[in-house]
Structure 1
Amino acid sequence: MRNFYRQFISPGDLCFDIGAHVGNRLKAWQALGARSVAVEPQPLLMQTLRSRYASAEDIDLVAQAIGAQPGEATLHISTQTPTVTTMSQEWITQVKQDTSFERVKWDRQLVVPVITLDQLIAEKGEPVFCKIDVEGFELQVLRGLSRPLRSLSFEYIPAAISMAIDCIDRLEELGDYEYNLAPGESHRLRYDQWLAVDDMRQQLKNISQGSGDVYARLRTR
């Protein structure tokens, strides 16, 4: 994982992990010499993050959610599978059509505080890399951002592929990006050459199985 992120992150860089879960990326970023801000609204997962990283001077833990507007939002929690906890009822409706989600239940709700990505940047600084993994709420996160970031990633899933395409459309409103994919947890980019926006949209439309992450980086001129 460290070797994969080396192409995006250098020593001293600031990174955001939006939807940090239990912090699987943080150790790799730490090994690269990065400073990280890990955002996680789920209390149980934040407990895990604090047990692992509370003493780390280069990791800042934020127990909030990120959205399009500051305020509060309802977190739909899956007790048995907390990694699919979400603030998007629309996403739940879409993924329920996928057989891999047929046994998932969102059995609890929790109101959590929400800030925008712009607010987080104003407080912590602008990240060189921003990972967004918030189960269908990625577009709302990007709507709370008013400037292009150098590089970022967000999740795609076939049952809700239109949401990933909406995220690309939002990024194109912010800046001139090129794109790639990393299937599953492979931490390997699928394409040797980064893709233009129209090609990326088409590649996403062609995906019928397997989730992963879209990577975006600003074009160099």
Structure 2
Amino acid sequence: MKRWLGFTRSLVTYHNPATLRAWRRLYDELLSPGDLAIDVGAHVGTRARAMRSAGARVIALEPQALFARFLRLTLPRDVLLIEAAAGAREATGEMAVSSRHPTVSSLHSGFVAGAPRAHGFDHVRWDQTEHVRMITLDGLVAAHGLPAYVKIDVEGFESEVLAGLSQPVPLLSVEYLPAFAQLTQAVIARIEALGAYRFNPVVGERSGFLWPDWRDARAVRDWLTTLPADAPSGDLFARVAPQP
């Protein structure tokens, strides 16, 4: 029963027309018809649907069985759904699952261990585990080609996902959580190791960029240090800097 209540909460929060329209507007600006986009941590599929509406060819990864089942039934037929997580290598991972709040289920043990002391997570309990298949972004690139965009929202596991990518892609986005700023700092370092990127945040589900321009890693690090732990989470976009 708790799993179904959590599933319903996710649908109400994320699978709604207003949120979908907002992300469609942003992806219409960022993606071109025919672009390959990979949604890592598809959850209820809001972003995958928005990418597809922008004309992208979409691969959606979702490791939680209940959500993968929902996506298999409801995603457009031309979206490739893979019931798996992404990581540094192909393996089987143990995911900590929150029945009541499945959106914060995570493969990152440090994230789960630190959450009770983090603002906004003290009410969350990870009460189940689920063994999930893990693949790599490099494996997806080898099978399907280099994507134009990769979205990663995996509750603290972003660095491990990026460890499975060995070349820059034109556009990335990763979830940032102000209560876990150290994890986002590590993600920025990994993105810098992939190539010369510029950054711009999207706060919450507003789907509009915070800054009028794209800024370097130092600027985004400085910005992160100003955020209180109770600031809203969001997505940090990174795009390859144009050559001078």
> How far apart are 1:165 and its partner, in Å?
1.0
Q: C-alpha distance in 1, partners of 2:51/2:161?
A: 22
Q: What's 2:204 paired with?
A: 184
Overall identity of the aligned pairs, in %: 38
Matched, 1:71 2:91: yes
Residues 122 and 210 of structure 1: is their aligned pair in 2 closer, same or farther, counting only changes over 3 Å? same
2:92 is paired with a residue of what secondary structure? strand
- Report the CA distance between 1:145 and its aligned residue: 0.6
Q: SS of the counterpart of 2:117?
A: coil
TM-score, normalised to structure 1, is 0.96
Unaligned 5+ segments in structure 2 are 1-22
Distance 1:140 1:152 in 2: 14
Residue 56 (1) aligns with residue 88 (2):
no
Q: Is the 8 A contact 2:202 2:234 kept in 1?
A: yes
In the alignment, which residue of structure 2 is the partner of 1:45? 67
Q: Which residue of 2 aligns with 1:11?
A: 33
Q: Which has the higher helix share?
A: 2
Q: Deviations over 1:33-75 (max 9, x none)?
A: 111000000000001101112x512x10000111011111101
Q: Secondary structure in 1 aligned to 2:68? A: helix
Mapping 1:69-218, distance limit 5 Å: 69-208=89-228, 209-218=231-240
1:13 Cα deviation (Å)?
A: 0.5
Equivalent AA in structure 1 for residue 208 of structure 2: R
* Structure 1 moving runs of 4+ over 3 Å: none
Q: What is the aligned residue count? A: 219
CA distance in 1, matches of 2:119, 2:158: 22
The code of the aligned residue for 2:147 comes to P
Q: Which residue of structure 2 aligns with residue 36 of structure 1?
A: 58
Q: Give how far 1:28 is off.
A: 1.5
Report the secondary structure of 2:67's partner residue. Answer: helix
Gaps of 5+ in 1: none
Alpha-carbon distance in structure 1 between the residues aligned to 2:50 and 2:199: 22
Partner SS, residue 7 of structure 1: helix
C-alpha contact (below 8 Å) 1:94/1:159 kept by paired residues: no
CA distance in 2, matches of 1:115, 1:56: 22
* CA deviation string 1:132-178 (max 9, x = no partner): 00000000000111000100100011111111111110111110000
Distance 1:139 1:146 in 2: 12
Tell me the SS of whatever aligns to 1:192: coil
- Root-mean-square deviation (CA, aligned residues, Å) is 1.0
SS in 1 for 2:111: helix
